[in-house]
Structure 1
Amino acid sequence: MEEKLRQSLYAYWGWFKRNEALFIAGMIAGLFFAGYWGYLQVLPRAGSDDSALQWDAVYSAIKLFIFNGPDVTQEWPFILQVVRILAPFLLIYTAVKTLWLRAGEHISLFLLRFRYRRFVVVCGIGETGYRLALQYLQCSKKRVVLIDDRPMNPLVAKLNIMGAIALMGDALDGATLARARVASASEVFVFSGDDEKNVAVAKAIHRVVRTKSSSAESTGHVAADRPRLRCHIQVDTGEVAEIFQDHSFFNLIDDRLELRIFNRNVSVARNIMDKCAPDLYYRPASDQDEPMHVLFLGFGPLSQALLIQYALTAHYADFRKPSATVLCDDQCRRAVDRFRQRYTHIDEVLDLTFRFVDPQTLDPQSWKAMLEQQRFQLCYTALEHDVDGILAARRLNRMRNTMGVAPIHFVVCLNQQSWISEVVDDDFLPIEMDKTGLGAAVPIEYFETLDETITIDVVVNDRLDQLAVAIHERYLQGQIDAGTSRADNPSVVTWRYLPLYKKVANQRAAAHLDVKLRIALCRRAQVQAPLPRASFPPNSELMEVLAKVEHQRWCADKRLAGYRYGAVRDDVRFLHPDLKPWGALTESDREKDRALIREIPALLALIGQKVVSEVGVEVAAQGALVEEEAGP
């Protein structure tokens, strides 16, 4: 209730800020005419000619705005009393507002010196930066400072109306960063949309913070326990992010600054594979079932990130390689070649097929031939333009209905970077983990990528990394208990200081945990949920299945990272002795995978969750439904 009230207040305040000039003009006009009408009632009449009286009333009404009304008003009507009080204060408000528009930016920036670590700075106000700044304005008490070099940027104007401090300038300029007081902010988001510029801005921020820290240390005004600034750098190009994954600068964490790379496409793909994972729609239990085969429309950066997440997580109890088919136009051939060069062992992980045909112009005969050749359980639509994605999914589904073919579930990934998203997004239902409610005729879901992913919870609070952090904390505790130090093992550090490539390995392990639970007909729930805790793994047979699945997942991860089999481990040459089938592993190596399965309940306990049976969840849901129907 309190949250709804706050959202309503924000909505009303936003409306007032957007229409403030019109509102003030209307108030002035209303008070003037009310004063004019009031004076017509109280001014003495002189003869039969009322023209002089009307001019006197106009002049007297104007004087009310400058505190120049009469002192004695005993016979005045009530409306004139109200005008006499409100009119001058409205004029004062307008004057102060005008002065604020001229000097407000300087005053607001000056006041930031008293809000140490209680404001954020967003550099570059595109769709990504805009949504994150909007989240802070609506859901946080922190002030928001915007840095943008486009004076006519409408997104900056919207945020400014809602209370953000807009600073026009280039974030590469150290003077602009100093004016925005980035060194005193709690978070800085470098989201210009240009990867190279974002990296350069991060270097500029580092220089500003280092200069201020040196100055503070020289004057003795630095406290050892002061919180550090966290700088989030958007790097969306996969190759660029990979270059900086091991770079010393982007693993920088010192007493004043922590740099963090944010890859929007990877974060969106992880979020989609969490809420719209293939096995939520279909789960092969043995090699007697239809194999998992997913269709991808388009081959842009998001589609590539989705394909990798699919290759990492689509490992089930049938132990077969997952299959994927990509439909993309002929212009994607170069992107396909580069993708295959980057992931040279992709075919060892995934049965991957590319068909160079535009999904928008695929004719019914070709579509029918594809569906007769293989069965697709799911289709991810990740085209560049939202209109194309929506129309392609609806067109292919309509043709499938006409042919009488079994349903294919469509997940349309909306980029939300054009006006169409604002027009149609109110018609899209929220994404639900339970897919049984999807209609057979139109099994289409619309995943609003920015609304679902560009949030404080995901970008700042690492919601997608909760399980990955728990995995590392459990590993860290085990190493400490065994007496291992950082000198013996560089990974014996907290999550914050863990190198980025090791974080990625933990993220990939965490991404498959829910798949394992679903294979065992389980899921996770909050500890306080009124559901009985389930034994996990349920039995020794499932233990072997899950351990074998985990080994298959681990092999896929290593192969996608470029590793191949070698009798002796050599990380320089990307060789690993465990990259072999489950049957060829020693019993001690198999026990490592079993130990990981046994750890799952303890990992969930670290984040306040437990393992529950899917059957128990269904029974509880049915009980709640019966109770609701039998209500008063």
Structure 2
Amino acid sequence: MIAFLRSPRGRWFVLAGLWVVVIVLGIGGFIQQGREAGLHRSGLDTVYLTLQLATLDYDGSAGDMNWRLQIGRFVVPLMAASTVLITASIVFAGELNLLRIGRSSGHTVVAGLGDVGKRLASAFADAGERVVVVDPDQSLVAAATSGDDRLRGLVGDPTDPGTLARVRVDRARRLVVAGPEDARNVRAASAAATLAAGPTRGRPALRCAVQLTDAELASLMRATDLDSAGGMRLSYFSLHERAARSLLSENPPFTGAGDHPMVIGLGRLGRSLVVALGQQWAHQHRHRRAPLTLVDPYAGGRWAELTQRHPALAEVFEPELIDVDLAWPSADGVGALATLLAERPPSWVAVVVDDEPLALANAVFLHQRLPEGRVPVVVRMGSGAGLGTLLESVGGGTARAFPGVSVFPFLDRTCTVESVDGGIREQLAESVHEDYLAALPDGGTGTGLQRPWADLDDDERDLSRRRVDGIVGDLAALGCELVPLRRWGAPAVTLTDDETALLAEREHQRWYDDRSAAGWTYAATRDDAARTNPLLVPWADLAPAVQQTNLDAARALQPMLARAGFEIARASAGPAVS
């Protein structure tokens, strides 16, 4: 109610209501005045006098002022002033908005106000940032800023340097380009780079995060965040790639014998999910292939495309491809799917088609065909609200409408400050933690650090961040660097035994320094309460079995980086270990 009264529409309703009250008081007051003075006034005379009162033109000569007229003549000037002020605020709102935007500094600019851009703007505002939004569509700007005083909006083309200059990108802290078209997003970033190349006057570089809907393209472009410099630090992010990792972290697909995942829908999210599934399986089960069912109108073609880009997928999965359009299914496609569910049922299902009603309908269909509650079914929804609430409890109780079917809220999980603002090291740190969760014996989560990344506090996340810093430094010591992973399964850099030993020794030294700085000391037995650990000794003093464990972890570094979307490359020049 308070928010409504503070809105422009609410103020107009209040003002109109008060004018009605004033008119009622005026009419009643003049009727009473005429009756007490013995005057016979017509209805039109009473209305005319009331209008005089409302327009501040009544001089009181028509008779004595009763209490109704006394209230009216004192309230009317305030009402008139309020009306003028509100009207002026509407007339000059655009100019005032431009003036406020023009004075902005250290703010966040969000360009592109589709579902992603609007949510990101709200997320940054929730984080305490001053946000300016820009989009060519006036209705989208109005929808984003209406009722939210934290957002300033400008209608304009973000690929136009003039528009970016008006939102003061040159003085902004951050630019987030979140439009639906990759080409336009890149052009907007290019225009911003031109403005950021001007005099900075000691201001930090503009941090520009660009959304690319093509996860493969985003993966290839991400390395720019590792070495970008100058007036603008440029990074690229793919919500589909991040969503795939988040979905698997929240819904572990591999729990033991008989693992058989099924993915329904091979759009951008579905393809990213298949790659992430393959990398996770390869990490947990070396030299073993798993059955995988893919359902899509073009399942065969999508699989061929995926294996061409990522050859390792063919070594990880034994695919069963069902070409069926779930919106307009053929008899053969439905029959193949029904046979599979009856004879070779999956152990885990992800329904990730973009059409939410279609996704929900297929999730319910699978719930009816699979053993109830025993096969997890994850269905992609835009958010946890809306259609996704149909899967929640019945009548507010604890019983779920469809046991075993859960919602993955795509936009809720991906449209966050961390998704675009963490940089590549933050993304690698999250991948390190997700890799740790995937390696747990039961493939699940629990307490302590055995929780999804989103549930960890900042201190707990720092453990993974320091691990990433150590990896970058260790590779530099070998004369190597991180580059985007082009093709998962293609030949990679082969590290020598000496290089692997150096990585293991440096990682142990990093862990030793980290634990020592936290107050841990050496003791023959480990005691977490007393902060003692028998491994707090130099590398040379470690038992051979412990050294071997660290060497195995160093050898597993490249597969872990591949799961995060990176690989190791030899630098053009640098130190080498012989």
Q: Taking structure 1 as the reference length, what is the TM-score of the superposition?
A: 0.65
Alignment of 1:170-209 (within 5 A): 170-209=157-196
Match of 1:26 in 2: 17
Counterparts in 2 of 1:513 and 1:329: CA distance versus 1, 3 Å: closer
Alignment of 1:544-583 (within 5 A): 561-564=488-491, 574-576=492-494
Counterparts in 2 of 1:97 and 1:522: CA distance versus 1, 3 Å: closer
Which residue of 224, 240, 252 maps to 2:228? Answer: 252
Which residue of 241, 261, 264 maps to 1:297? Answer: 264
Deviation at 1:294, TM superposition (A): 0.8
Deviation at 1:600, TM superposition (A): 12
Counterparts in 2 of 1:394 and 1:322: CA distance versus 1, 3 Å: farther
Is residue 2:121 matched to residue 1:133? yes
Counterparts in 2 of 1:382 and 1:102: CA distance versus 1, 3 Å: same
Alignment of 1:451-462 (within 5 A): 451-460=412-421, 462=422
Q: Secondary structure at the match of 2:46?
A: helix
Is residue 2:209 matched to residue 1:232? yes
Counterparts in 2 of 1:504 and 1:457: CA distance versus 1, 3 Å: closer
Counterparts in 2 of 1:328 and 1:591: CA distance versus 1, 3 Å: same
C-alpha distance in 1 between matches for 2:108 and 2:237: 16
Q: Number of paired residues?
A: 479
Aligned residues of 2:224 and 2:234 also touching (Cα < 8 A): no
Deviation at 1:192, TM superposition (A): 1.3
Aligned residues of 1:348 and 1:559 also touching (Cα < 8 A): no
Alignment of 1:24-173 (within 5 A): 24-42=15-33, 45-51=37-43, 53-64=45-56, 76-77=66-67, 80-112=69-101, 114-117=103-106, 119-137=107-125, 139-153=126-140, 156-163=142-149, 164-173=151-160
Match of 1:424 in 2: 387
Deviation at 1:559, TM superposition (A): 9.9
Deviation at 1:193, TM superposition (A): 0.8
Q: Secondary structure at the match of 1:346?
A: helix
Deviation at 1:314, TM superposition (A): 3.6
Deviation at 1:9, TM superposition (A): 5.7
Q: Secondary structure at the match of 1:388?
A: helix
Counterparts in 2 of 1:457 and 1:212: CA distance versus 1, 3 Å: same
Deviations 1:158-212 (A, max 9, x none): 4234233221111111111111111222222111111011011001011112225
Aligned residues of 2:252 and 2:443 also touching (Cα < 8 A): no
Q: Partner letter of residue 130 of structure 1?
A: K
Deviation at 1:337, TM superposition (A): 2.7
Is residue 2:367 matched to residue 1:397? yes
C-alpha distance in 2 between matches for 1:9 and 1:25: 17
Aligned residues of 1:327 and 1:359 also touching (Cα < 8 A): no
C-alpha distance in 1 between matches for 2:167 and 2:19: 36
Deviation at 1:346, TM superposition (A): 1.5
Match of 1:410 in 2: 377
Which residue of 340, 343, 347 maps to 1:377? Answer: 347
Q: Taking structure 2 as the reference length, what is the TM-score of the superposition?
A: 0.70
Deviation at 1:354, TM superposition (A): 2.3
Deviation at 1:148, TM superposition (A): 1.1
C-alpha distance in 2 between matches for 1:520 and 1:328: 25
Is residue 2:243 matched to residue 1:268? yes
Deviation at 1:504, TM superposition (A): 6.2
Aligned residues of 1:187 and 1:230 also touching (Cα < 8 A): yes
Deviations 1:32-73 (A, max 9, x none): 323332343345645344436513442233224x8x6769x9
C-alpha distance in 2 between matches for 1:400 and 1:62: 72
C-alpha distance in 2 between matches for 1:181 and 1:443: 49
Match of 2:197 in 1: 210
Aligned residues of 1:195 and 1:235 also touching (Cα < 8 A): yes
Aligned residues of 2:290 and 2:316 also touching (Cα < 8 A): no
Q: Secondary structure at the match of 1:337?
A: helix
Q: Secondary structure at the match of 1:259?
A: strand
Counterparts in 2 of 1:595 and 1:247: CA distance versus 1, 3 Å: closer
Deviation at 1:122, TM superposition (A): 1.4
C-alpha distance in 2 between matches for 1:264 and 1:236: 7
C-alpha distance in 2 between matches for 1:358 and 1:429: 27
Counterparts in 2 of 1:559 and 1:186: CA distance versus 1, 3 Å: closer
C-alpha distance in 2 between matches for 1:22 and 1:121: 33
C-alpha distance in 1 between matches for 2:111 and 2:367: 41
Q: Secondary structure at the match of 2:448?
A: strand
Counterparts in 2 of 1:238 and 1:453: CA distance versus 1, 3 Å: closer
Aligned residues of 1:18 and 1:161 also touching (Cα < 8 A): no
Is residue 2:304 matched to residue 1:337? yes
Match of 2:570 in 1: none
Deviation at 1:372, TM superposition (A): 4.5
Q: Secondary structure at the match of 1:525?
A: coil
Aligned residues of 2:351 and 2:380 also touching (Cα < 8 A): yes
Deviations 1:82-138 (A, max 9, x none): 544443333333333333333323323323455421x3221111110111223344x
Deviations 1:196-233 (A, max 9, x none): 110110010111122253xxxxxxxx23xx34332221
Counterparts in 2 of 1:192 and 1:365: CA distance versus 1, 3 Å: closer
Contiguous gaps of at least 5 residues in structure 1: 1-7, 214-221, 285-289, 431-436, 463-495, 534-556, 565-573, 579-584, 613-632
Q: Percent identity?
A: 19
Deviations 1:347-394 (A, max 9, x none): 223343322223454877534431354342210111120011000110
C-alpha distance in 1 between matches for 2:204 and 2:486: 40
Contiguous gaps of at least 5 residues in structure 2: 451-455, 461-483, 519-526, 529-578
Counterparts in 2 of 1:194 and 1:344: CA distance versus 1, 3 Å: same
C-alpha distance in 2 between matches for 1:18 and 1:429: 35
C-alpha distance in 2 between matches for 1:306 and 1:76: 77
Match of 1:492 in 2: none
Deviation at 1:234, TM superposition (A): 0.6
C-alpha distance in 2 between matches for 1:42 and 1:457: 69
Q: Secondary structure at the match of 1:192?
A: coil
Which residue of 347, 360, 370 maps to 2:314? Answer: 347
Aligned residues of 2:357 and 2:387 also touching (Cα < 8 A): no
Aligned residues of 1:123 and 1:129 also touching (Cα < 8 A): yes
C-alpha distance in 2 between matches for 1:520 and 1:422: 28
